[in-house]
Structure 1
Amino acid sequence: MNSDPTTDATRSERIVERAREVIPGGAQTGLRAQAYDTGDVAFERAKGTTLTTVDDEEYTDYHLGFGPIILGHAYDRVDDAARSAIGDGVLYGAGTTPLEVEVAERLTSLLPGVEQVNFCNSGSEATYHAIRLARAYTGNEKILKFEGCYHGWHDYVDVSVYPPEDELGGGYPESEGMLPSAVENTLVVPFNDREAVEEVFREHGDDLAAVILEPVPHSVGCILPRGEFLETLREVTREADVPLVFDEVITGFRHSPHGAQGEFGVTPDLTCVAKALGNGYPVAAVGGREDLLAQAGGDNESGVVISGTYSGNLPGLAAARETLDAIVEEDVQRHVTDLGDEYRAGLRDLLSDRDIEGRVVGHRSIFSVQFGVTGEPENYEDVLGLDEGRFREFAVGMRERGHFFTPNPYKRHHLSLAHGEAELADYLADADDVFGNL
């Protein structure tokens, strides 16, 4: 570790100290700054499963940039394609490129609910565009979302993602500075509650522009859709002619090449994808029914504006093309799903052996330990009451042993194609050691 002999500060600590002078909180987002809960850290390199700090400390990475890294860091095939694309110019900003056609064709062939595609650069942009398209189509303003589902930072949807217990059932703004009218036009009900959805449609069906959800809410670990919940959403939205929006920013291409919509057999009207679409490159898309996307064609009566100077940039599209092809050709989901099952089973055994109150949640390539709560969560309320302090102790202990993930107890671990049995064995052995010290 590289330390300053005059202060005994590591290079990471010195860089973070400088960062706090010029960057709010010392990181680009508050969520990134939470990494400092386990000690100041500045990363310099990543390859495969390994993150390396400026002090040459190495960690096995389970954070994976909040989930985009599905193939492993610096995956040669993807990076080579992005470098090759840069050789032809990064951005044209007019007309069409062959790359955007190729990637759009892949998305329309893989995702059941996607007939046309508009590219953008982040999941937040994609959900923003989706809601604008839905509002233009219906002429309505209100949207329905679910507690515990995160759809980005903008005013339309940054509501009741992590509401306190006394704010359940209402529209809880997650940020200061949000427009009150945006919050008022966002209706919120519990996930998996079919009756609550039907009640909203009885009371507000004529005023609804869209229903948006994570088909598997991973912003609070993992909540699986129960019974006929997704089918109910499809039925009531179709009957009311209200677009159903699947936010597959996390689930798309991480759980299945065909998204959660392919996995669960429910086809939405609009789909938002990002994260694993480009294995870390900034690329995202909103896709869906042709009549909905046609509103943004630029020469139609509706005149919906979907814009962005950097949308369709060549490196991002090249990365997306190669990532999608690799996911299919390498059967990535089978690998990460089988491995995820082993991580979850091993952690459950350790909790039981150590007689620690808690549960392991997750699906396919995602898992998380939630201390102080038991039983399968059905909705966000079932996540309330988890032991945040114990999770942070666990995160600190695991980082000391060379495993990195965000110390936020509501978030999750991710796996990639680069993870294997060796990483599994090391993780479970060290987790057992940390559990013994909690």
Structure 2
Amino acid sequence: MGRLRSELFFEKAQKIIPGGVNSPVRACKAVKSNPVFFERGEGAYLIDADGNRYIDYVASWGPLILGHAHPNVIAEVYFASKRGTSFGAPTWLEVEMAELIRECIPSMEKVRLVNSGTEATMSALRLARAFTGRKKIVKFDGCYHGHSDSLLVKAGSGLATFGIPSSPGVPDELTTHTISLPFNDQEKVTEAFEKYGSEIACVILEPVPANMGVVPPKEGFLQFLRDITQKYGALLIFDEVITGFRLGLGGAQGHFGIKPDLTCLGKIIGGGLPVGAYGGKADIMSLIAPEGPVYQAGTLSGNPIAVSAGLATLKELKKPGAYARLENLTQALEEGIREILKELSLPYQVVRCSSMLTLFFTDKEVTDFQSALSCDTERFASFWQGMLKRGIYLPPSQFEAWFVSLAHSEKEIEITLKALRETLREVG
């Protein structure tokens, strides 16, 4: 499987783009490889610049839940683009999107559309601080909420992949207001609130972290966070940029039955195009300008093409049986991996939540960022290379989720498991 054109493209890219990529994990350094350059996607498959086909489990890091180039999404993008690419003014599509989001996630009584998940979390933090009049925020080690300054403290995703605990250029004065705690640790959260309770504006978390690999919350942990934030007058923010519409139409909050004060969305509501949103209780959201004094703006927020793609995606997900099919496909993948691990006497951990899963190269139960870091990343790199050689494209990092889409079928799952068995026999 030659990738000559990818190698040539990367060589040229490094001369003009920092690291040759526009987002760090794409560089594939953690898996000791050069990146693959892709030309197109078809359903469950990606086709690279050299014409090689791969079954895709990255799915643009989650949003392509319908697969690549879904005909209904493409049609809506085409018709929207014929009407104009951007107006910098309101359109009905924005209202329709906000109404659909509120219908699916009732805690989002009012919704503001933005351009990315990073914008959504950054804006939600500003709003939480304004609403409470407090400065400190609580986050969790290994949870990634975008690259805004206050949140680049013990973050997962690319920072975990590259071993970067924070980032140069982030002022100490900002990070002193960020308290980062172990995920799933009620005792540490209680200690933080006992010490700083009157200063904490909010707790922000991925309700199911997917940026240190998939790590579900322990039973009762989310309810504990709901209770302690209410006790101390802090807000609870769910970053559902990944879990929103992945775990069901109601997101993780619908899945677990927990109602946060604010929710951040992204990825899927753009159907693969750049869009995000944040929303929550009406009295909190009413502080956003022009209704209130908290400023946040964006020329491309609610872009008609992006919103059209997102609406088409969400309407497909509302069709009967969509999530049941996703569940069955991902369950088949999970069970197949478990059988292979047992067959080969390998101690690795498979963790799944709905249509997201991670194969952790460790014999330890993964419940937080620290236990995730026990993984054998060298062996994972060999595994990733072996799977790529066999036509399976996985996230190029041990600390990311695999995503199954509705474009996958039993055939793709079977091919994947065959490749996985062969690769694990090879690398151990």
What is the CA RMSD across the aligned residues, in angstroms? 1.6
Partner deviation per Cα, 1:308-333 (whole Å, 9 max, x = no partner): 11101100111111111111115322
Correspondent of 1:357 among 347, 358, 373: 347
Question: Is this contact kept in 2: 1:237–1:244, CA < 8 A?
Answer: yes
Correspondent of 1:316 among 299, 306, 316: 306
**Aligned counterparts, 1:199-278, within 5 A:** 199-278=191-270
Question: Is this contact kept in 2: 1:247–1:273, CA < 8 A?
Answer: yes
Provide the residue aligned with 2:27 in structure 1. Answer: 33
Normalised TM-score (structure 1): 0.93
Q: CA deviation at 1:299?
A: 4.2
**C-alpha distance in 2 between matches for 1:39 and 1:57:** 15
SS at match of 2:32: helix
Any stretches of 5+ residues in structure 1 without a counterpart?
3-8, 164-171
Question: Is this contact kept in 1: 2:55–2:391, CA < 8 A?
Answer: yes
**Aligned counterparts, 1:59-70, within 5 A:** 59-70=54-65
**C-alpha distance in 2 between matches for 1:368 and 1:312:** 33
Provide the residue aligned with 2:160 in structure 1. Answer: none
Q: CA deviation at 1:40?
A: 4.1
**C-alpha distance in 2 between matches for 1:80 and 1:195:** 51
Question: Is this contact kept in 2: 1:38–1:399, CA < 8 A?
Answer: no
Question: Is this contact kept in 2: 1:373–1:383, CA < 8 A?
Answer: no
**C-alpha distance in 2 between matches for 1:39 and 1:91:** 36
**C-alpha distance in 2 between matches for 1:10 and 1:178:** 39
Q: CA deviation at 1:162?
A: 4.5
Correspondent of 1:408 among 381, 397, 404: 397
Q: CA deviation at 1:252?
A: 0.3
SS at match of 1:319: helix
Q: Between 121-130 and 179-188, report the one with greater CA deviation.
A: 179-188
Provide the residue aligned with 1:434 in structure 2. Answer: 423
Amino acid at match of 2:113: F
**C-alpha distance in 2 between matches for 1:421 and 1:38:** 29
1:424 counterpart = 2:413: yes
1:366 counterpart = 2:356: yes
Provide the residue aligned with 1:128 in structure 2. Answer: 122
Runs of 4+ that moved beyond 6 A: none
SS at match of 1:221: coil
Question: Is this contact kept in 2: 1:272–1:286, CA < 8 A?
Answer: yes
Provide the residue aligned with 1:169 in structure 2. Answer: none
Partner deviation per Cα, 1:206-246 (whole Å, 9 max, x = no partner): 10111100000111111111121111111111122211100
Correspondent of 1:160 among 145, 154, 161: 154
SS at match of 2:95: helix
SS at match of 2:54: strand
**C-alpha distance in 2 between matches for 1:38 and 1:351:** 25
1:24 counterpart = 2:15: no
1:52 counterpart = 2:47: yes
**C-alpha distance in 2 between matches for 1:64 and 1:292:** 34
Q: CA deviation at 1:85?
A: 1.1
SS at match of 2:208: coil
Partner deviation per Cα, 1:328-372 (whole Å, 9 max, x = no partner): 115322111111111111111111111122111121111121113
Residues 330, 158 of structure 1: alpha-carbon distance in 2 compared, 3 angstrom cutoff: farther
Correspondent of 1:328 among 318, 323, 336: 318
Question: Is this contact kept in 2: 1:159–1:186, CA < 8 A?
Answer: yes
Partner deviation per Cα, 1:158-192 (whole Å, 9 max, x = no partner): 111249xxxxxxxx852111111121110011111
1:346 counterpart = 2:341: no
**C-alpha distance in 2 between matches for 1:162 and 1:272:** 17
**C-alpha distance in 1 between matches for 2:268 and 2:321:** 14
Q: CA deviation at 1:134?
A: 0.3
